[in-house]
Structure formats: structure tokens, C-alpha cells
Amino acid sequence: MSFVAKVWKILVGIKDGLVLLFLLLFFVALFAILSARPHPGQVREGALLIELSGRIVEEKSMLDPIEALLSGAAPVEEYRARDLVRALDAAATDDRIKAVVLDLTTFTGGGQVHLTEIGEAMDRVRKAKKPVLTFALGYADDHMLLAAHASEVWLDPQGVALVTGPGGNNLYFADLLQRIGVNAHIYRAGQFKSAVEPYSRSSMSDEARESIAGVYNALWSEWQANVKRARPKADLAGVTGDTAGFIAAGGGDLADAALKAGLVDRLGDRAQFGARVAEIAGKDSADDTPGAFAASDLNAFLADLGPERSGKAIGVVTIAGEIVDGDAGPGTAGGRRIADLLDQALDDDLAALVVRVDSPGGSAIAAEEMRLAIQRFRDRKIPVVVSFANIAASGGYWVATASDRIFAQPETITGSIGVFAVVPTFEQAAAKIGVNADGYKTTPLSGQPDILGGFSPEIEAVLQAGVSATYRDFLIRVARARKMTVAKVDTLAQGRVWDGGAARQMGLVDQFGGLEDALEWAAAKAGLKKGEWHPVFLGEEGENFDPLIRRLLAKQESASAKLAGGDPFALIARRQNELAARLVHDAGWFARGTGVQAYCLECPSRAPVAKAAARAPASGMAALVRLLMAD
């Protein structure tokens, strides 16, 4: 018995030790979470410091803590555009804020609509007689669209400012698929629905080139007009049209060339820039590091502002990213998830609903699921307004057909009213390795679709009929929503993409305006005056473990830092990373075998690729190897 008693004491001791250990870990984790979260008490007099160490988005993606910890590096940060606009507008009237500082050193870009809205908010800060300063090691197109609105643009002497304009090459896989014996069965409706071309051609078709040229040229014209209004002295024509002369003007020094071209105002390192900010906003009394200045960071400032709560609630549902079936998201528009959010909000006594779309589309089934959920608000006589952000194409336009009004911006990419499906079969590849298919069939459809034996003409007809029927449904929905004939919509559709200006002229959108304009219109429609309403963003979640994970990985090189750089060779490295990510994304998309797609694969804004490019090159190449091995 004494032996049993001793064993029992040991087990009890182990149990007590584990309990104490778990309690200790719990309180350590709790302290870490609480200390990592920003709180209002951290705001002080000085500058508002906005360190854009990542990408500007409409909706933040869900952080996977396990993936982040296993990768050993903090993922690329995402900043909601509306948070930045709200912070800038508040800074304009906050007596504690003497200046606004944007550190763009590790900024990786954003959509043109978002950047334009933030630039306008920067203008409002300057109109309030508060300087706005930016600093970067390198300025590319997205950087310049923001920096043009600053009162002082600083560039590191070792850096470069370079404007390239939109455009570039797509990847085409038809020759590769033929070489490895993969047949791409393509079903589409729409002459300009060129999303399937990467799998059926080795180059861009004339129709696709015509469609995308109109969009690119419109975006480029808007970009130049925006920058020229903000920085009239900037020699954009010389920078983009005479590169050799641009370099020669700086005596071969790219930073000096940017200064002479009027892209930047001053050259200086981070310490010199910080000293300049300290002259305006004050020195940091607690930090004697060269270049330190008194400042409050973005998250603490937003926490200090708190949520808007006065008056009636106007719901805002965000459809951002690729539209997919199921519960995916945030950052991806899972049809079931968003439909559930909308159905739950039906009982929330909302005065109106605003649908914010920033999506290239995706699953036609998921788009229809969300459209029906939006329509249920209209059936209850609740005003519904749709606001387009950077891109609202294909399935992103499909959901907008259940609305009372559509807002867009000149830089919005929309349209692409068309559908398609791509299904790979492997009969030739199988034959190459000695695998053949044979059997007994009672009808021509027996065993179909057969990805190893090949498709029969009958199943080909069935699949094409399904795509054509979905396209007709799309046309009918648009025709009813826009009060046009189906024939008229068909002439505007055919899978062609349009810029916001052209879409407005053709009646695909009602008026120009951003999210705030859409909210004000919805409030007026609901009979509410200014100050009698506030927005409620449906399904918006807190930071979860994001601050804690980033603190734990703070000493590791972040994904944003890996994408950063201030010279042309850093730009080449980023493009290599983006190329690998794009190859993995496009090949993976083809191999997924999804259903009928209302998706704008050819649209200039490719958010999935931008996010994938943030990963380490090694992981992207590993994924590519796995895809090739799977063939």
C-alpha cells in the first residue's frame, strides 16, 4: 500500500504542477494579448504616424496563427482603406495632432480607388493647415499616388522613384498543356470573356486586347490626372517617355533624378527625415535615438476614436475577394457566410443596407446566393445601395443587380458580364504512361464526365448549355435591374470589362461616389438626416490574435520587409516573387475544377496573386513543384 500511496502522490504532484503551468501560460497569454492591443491612452501630442507595412485592402483577411508561427515571419499586414480615411479626417480636427507622417518603406500597394480616396483625405488634412510628410526608400506607382498629396515627399538618397504605368504580360499555358497531354475543355458565354484564354491560347486575342486596353488607358489617364493636380511640377511625361533623359538629368543618380523631375521634394535618410518631423511635431522626450519624434501610431489613434454609435444603424456588408461557395472569409467572399450575415441582420432593425463590393467575381452559385439574401432586404422595403470599390466585375456585378442604386468611381473596374467553365481531362497524358480507358455504356452519357477517358460530344453539349443558361440568367438580372432590354444588355456584356466612367455612361452604374456617398444616399432614402445614423459593418471581427502573433514574430523578417526595397534590383526581386505566385495561382485555379464561374480572371487587379506574392519565394516554388508533380 505504501508503494501505491507514493505513486498516487507523484501523480497528484504532476497534476498540480501541470495545473500551475497551464494557469501561468494562461495569464502570460492574457497579458500578452491585452498589452499587444492598442488602447486610447497611447495617443499623445505630436504627429500621427502611419507606417504602411503592407497592403491597403477593403476587408482584412483572417490571420491563421498556426501558419504564421510555422512560417517564422509575420504575414503581410493589411490596412482597411476606410480606417485610414477615418484616421486622416479625425487628425485634421484633432488639436493633439500637429502633422501626419506616412512611412511607405514597406508599403506593397493597393487599389487605385482606395489610394485616390486616401489621397483626398490627405488633402483635407493639409487644408486644415497641418503638414503631411512621406518617407520611403523607393516610390513606385502606388506610392506616388499617395505621396503626390503630401506637403513634403522625402526619398532616401540610395533610393529611387520610378513610374511605370499599368500593364504587363499575362501567362498562357496552352502549349504547356498540349505538351503534357492535358486537354482544357472550355465553355464560355461572351465574346470578350477572355478569362479562359490562358488555357486555350499562347497569346492574347484581339478581343481581349481591345477590352483591356480601354480599361488600362482609362486607369492610366485617371492616375496621371490625379498626380498632376496634386503635384503640377512633376514631369511625368519625361519620367515615363524619356527614361534615358530622366536618368541623365540626375547625372546617373536615380534619387537626384527623381528630385529634379519633381517626383520628390527632399533627399534624406530616416534620421534626417525624423529631425524634420520633430521640428514640426516636437521631439520624443523618451527616446534619444537620432530621428525620433513625438508620435501616436495608427492603431492607438483609431482606438481613441472608438466606434460610431449615434442614431439609427445602417448595415454595411462587405463582399471582398474571390467569390466562392461556403463559409470562406473574411478577405474571401464565401457565399454561405455572407448570406448568413445578411439573414441574421434582417432582424436587427436596420434603416438601410449598403453592399460594398471589391471583387473580381467567382462562383455563379455563390453570387446568386448572396444576391437572393440582399433581395430579401428589398422585399421588406429596406433601401439597398451598392458601392463599388476598386473592382466589381462578373460575379461582383451579379450581386449588385439586387439594389436600388449603384455607386462607383471613375477608377472602378466593372462589367465582365459573362460566364465560363474550364475542365481539364487527361486521356492523352494517361495514354502516354500506358493507362487506357474502356468499358460498356448504356447511353452516350454513361460514365460522363470522364476525366481519364475523355468527354463525349453529348456531355460537351450539356456543359456548354449549362454555361449558356447561366449567361442568360445573368443578362436577365442585369436587364431588370438597369431597366434595359436583354438585347441591349447583351451588347454591353459579352464578358467585356469597363472602367467606371464608361460604365456610368452606358447605364451600368448610377453615379460616382465612394462608400460615404452611398451611406448618405441610403440614409436619405430611409428618411434620416445627418447625425441621425451610423454605419454597422456586418460580420466585422476584432484583431483576434493578430497583434500577439506579430509581437511574437517581431524579431523575424516580416513578409512586408521581404517585399520592400529601394532600388531597381529590389523591384526585380518583387516581380520574380509575384511571377512565381501568379504561376501557382493560375495553375492551381485551373486544376481546382470549380463550377460555372462569373469571374474576371483577366482584370488588372489580382488580389489573390498579390497576397500569394507576400509569401517567401521558397514556399511559392515548393507549391509550383507540387503542382507540376501532380500532373
C-alpha cell at 309: 454609435
Name the active-site residue from 211, 394, 456, 560: 394
Q: Where are the beta strands (DSSP E) in 288-371?
A: 295-297, 312-320, 323-324, 333-334, 352-359, 361-363
Rounded Cα distance, 337 and 344, in Å: 11
Cell numbers placing 159: 533610393
99: CB partners within 8 A, 6+ apart:
47, 48, 130, 131, 132, 133, 277, 280, 281
Q: What three-state secondary structure class fits 251?
A: coil
Judge contact between 151 and 131, C-beta under 8 A: yes
Q: Which long-range contacts (CB under 8 A, 24 or more apart) does 194-198 make?
A: 194/495, 194/602, 195/420, 195/495, 195/597, 195/599, 195/600, 195/601, 195/602, 196/420, 196/422, 196/601, 197/170, 197/172, 197/602, 198/170, 198/171, 198/172, 198/173, 198/174, 198/586, 198/590, 198/601
CA distances from 560 to 248, 487, 540 (A): 32, 48, 24
Q: What share of the chain is helix, strand, coil (3-state, %, to 5)?
A: 50, 20, 35
- Cα 432 to Cα 21, 183, 429: the distances in Å are 60, 13, 5
- Tell me the C-alpha to C-alpha distance, in Å, between residue 76 and each of 108, 147, 231, 607: 9, 21, 30, 13
Cα separations in angstroms, 59 against 79, 330, 539, 601 = 8, 7, 11, 20
Report the greatest alpha carbon distance in the chain.
95
d(CA 133, CA 86): 18
d(CA 106, CA 127): 27
Q: Is 193 a catalytic residue?
A: yes
CA nearest neighbour of 338 among 381, 368, 309: 368
Q: Is 530 a catalytic residue?
A: no
Catalytic residue among 60, 98, 130, 193: 193
Distance CA 589, CA 611 (A): 15
Q: Which SS3 state, helix, strand or coil, does residue 101 take?
A: strand
CA distance 613 to 611: 5
The Cα–Cα gap between 32 and 12 comes to 30
104's grid cell:
511607405
Q: How far is Cα 625 from Cα 583, in angstroms, rounded to an integer?
A: 11
Which helix (H) or strand (E) segment holds residue 499: the answer is strand 497-499
65 burial via Cβ count (<10 Å: 0-12, 13-18, 19+): middle
- Please measure the distance between the N-terminal and C-terminal CA atoms of the chain and give it in whole angstroms: 65
Task: Report yes or no: 359 and 395 within 8 Å, Cβ to Cβ.
Answer: yes
Q: Reduce the DSSP state of residue 100 to 3 states and report it.
A: strand
Catalytic residues: 193, 394
